[in-house]
Amino acid sequence: MATDYRQMWTDLGLDLEAHDALLQALGQGYQDIFLAQKGRPAGMGYFDFVMSEVHGLRVKELLDAKAEGRPVVGSFCVFVPEELVLAVGGVAVGLCAGAEFAFDKVEQHIPRNTCALIKAFLGFGLARVCPYLTAADLLVGENTCDGKKKAWEIADGLIAPIHVMDLPQVKSAEGRGLLTAEYRRFMAKMEELSGKQITLESLEDAIGVVNRKRAALARLARLRSANPAPISGLDALLVNQVSFYDDPVRFTASVNALCDEVEARVAAGKGVFPADTPRILVSGCPMAVPNWKVPWVIETSGGVIVGEESCVGERGLRDQVATDVADLDGLLGAIVDRYFAIDCAIFTPNPDRLGHVRELRDRTGADGVLHYGLQFCTPYQMEAGPVEKAVKGDGTPFLRLETDYSMEDVEQLRTRVGAFVELLGG
């Protein structure tokens, strides 16, 4: 019989009735979207298990860590360096914000025309349905887009105190200086929270853990270049989503085991879709759990996703932190170097992203690029234009989608995606 976590959820201050409704919808969505797929690698079983225990076992593990004096730190952005949390023995969790929940409550505090990702995080908090939010000792909000910047002010009073991390918007020496200063301040915050000093050894170990995690994800990403595609885009997205809250060492081992299996499939020419199924690179806003709508539409309309130019994807896993430095300052500098290279659309100008989209398209053998923008996300919608120009300039078909978390536009999306897949030869 499945473990009963109701007492744990009550202790965490959740609204059990609303939480039940969320889990019910999540479970049904998972069944219809993931478990209905054919020919999945057996290694996906681990990730199915993690998802089935997403509000159970993993939350219990976080509470056990807290009981050992290890702080739990929740964040919303790939600019928050997990290495500095692990270096004090802490646990880092990405706070998913991928479902429309309690938006009516949210809209009493922020404008209706705010992106769904921000609204979802506030909705989960206001409706008291996210055990990660309430289990965390610290929430870190980063100053990226305007919506997030202002949301931290609102959330600070309503949901939990937030450590705000300022971020540069320009890739200049001054910008790098700001990131370094903010990472130092975050390091001090971690030391204060845990009562532990970050040492050369603890930071080296933490960097090793995160580098190995990124290497495993990069390995999986590279295997997706094979034709036929050995794993669906939905499953690969799920692995990336799980990377934000699973135990990093266990996760890395599970991804590598999955890669062994996928590698064997590639060698045997085995795929989840027939060879030459139209291959699509998705580029744009991050997709947090359980935001699976667009990938599901693509892969049930005759296409296969072969890569994500996104923070839940390539932008989050690209580049390692260099470790060939001799002291703590050098290691921090290496962390800054790695994160400062992130090509988020909040930067201006942001030419690296265009190069990365093209590079990824070529590496994955994508036949077309689909730009995914959340409604009211100004940075990514503004950048959709330059991405379109760059991609089309090379003769690659391009489709721009703008949507939110509701299911109301599924049929409309299906019509547009279906036509795009046809154009790609499907």
Inter-residue long-range contacts of 29-38, CB under 8 Å, 24+ positions, other chains counted = 29/290, 29/292, 30/290, 33/234, 33/292, 33/296, 34/234, 34/235, 34/238, 34/292, 37/232, 37/234, 37/235, 37/272, 37/299, 38/272
Measured from the CB atom, the residue of 115 and 399 that comes closer to ligand BJ8 is 115
Measured from the CB atom, the residue of 118 and 424 that comes closer to ligand BJ8 is 118
Q: Do β-strands 304-309 and 138-142 pair in parallel, antiparallel, or remain unpaired?
A: unpaired
Closest approach of ligand BJ8 to the CB of residue 102, in Å: 17
Q: Do β-strands 72-75 and 138-142 pair in parallel, antiparallel, or remain unpaired?
A: parallel
Secondary structure (H, E, C), 279-339: EEEEEECCCCCCCCHHHHHHHCCCCEEEEEECCCCHHHHCCCCCCCCCCHHHHHHHHHHHH
- Using CB under 6 A as the binding rule, whether residue 85 contacts ligand BJ8 is answered as no
Measured from the CB atom, the residue of 169 and 202 that comes closer to ligand BJ8 is 169
Q: Please state, in angstroms and as integers, the Cα–Cα distance from residue 241 to each residue in 29, 30, 245, 312, 404, following that order.
A: 15, 13, 8, 6, 18
The one among 78, 332, 401, 413 contacting ligand BJ8 by CB under 6 A: 78
Q: Which DSSP string corresponds to 335-399?
A: HHHHHHT---TTSSS-HHHHHHHHHHHHHHT-SEEEEEEETT-HHHHHHHHHHHHHHHHTT--EE
The interface with ligand BJ8 within residues 329-368 (CB under 6 A) comprises: 342, 344, 346
Measured from the CB atom, the residue of 405 and 420 that comes closer to ligand BJ8 is 405
Closest approach of ligand BJ8 to the CB of residue 344, in Å: 3
Return the H-helix or E-strand segment holding 94: strand 91-94
Measured from the CB atom, the residue of 114 and 396 that comes closer to ligand BJ8 is 114
The one among 125, 147, 248, 295 contacting ligand BJ8 by CB under 6 A: 147
The one among 41, 81, 278, 379 contacting ligand BJ8 by CB under 6 A: 379
Measured from the CB atom, the residue of 5 and 79 that comes closer to ligand BJ8 is 79
Measured from the CB atom, the residue of 59 and 115 that comes closer to ligand BJ8 is 115
Q: Which stretch binds ligand BJ8 (CB under 6 A): 13-21, 46-54, 76-84, 122-130?
A: 76-84
The one among 75, 143, 144, 403 contacting ligand BJ8 by CB under 6 A: 144
Q: Is the bond preceding residue 71 a cis peptide, omega within 30 degrees?
A: no
The one among 187, 377, 391, 417 contacting ligand BJ8 by CB under 6 A: 377
The interface with ligand BJ8 within residues 216-255 (CB under 6 A) comprises: none
Query: CA angle, corner 165, sides to 192 and 161, nearest 5?
Result: 65
- Using CB under 6 A as the binding rule, whether residue 313 contacts ligand BJ8 is answered as no
Closest approach of ligand BJ8 to the CB of residue 114, in Å: 8
The one among 87, 95, 117, 334 contacting ligand BJ8 by CB under 6 A: 117
The interface with ligand BJ8 within residues 280-309 (CB under 6 A) comprises: 285-286
Measured from the CB atom, the residue of 117 and 139 that comes closer to ligand BJ8 is 117
Measured from the CB atom, the residue of 342 and 401 that comes closer to ligand BJ8 is 342
- Using CB under 6 A as the binding rule, whether residue 387 contacts ligand BJ8 is answered as no
Centre a 10 Å sphere on the Cβ of residue 207 and count the other Cβ atoms it contains: 24
Q: 104 by DSSP, 3-state: which?
A: helix
Q: How many residues bind ligand BJ8 (CB under 6 A)?
A: 20
Q: 426 by DSSP, 3-state: which?
A: coil
Interface positions with ligand BJ8 (CB under 6 A): 77-79, 115, 117-118, 144-145, 147-148, 285-286, 311, 342, 344, 346, 374, 377, 379-380
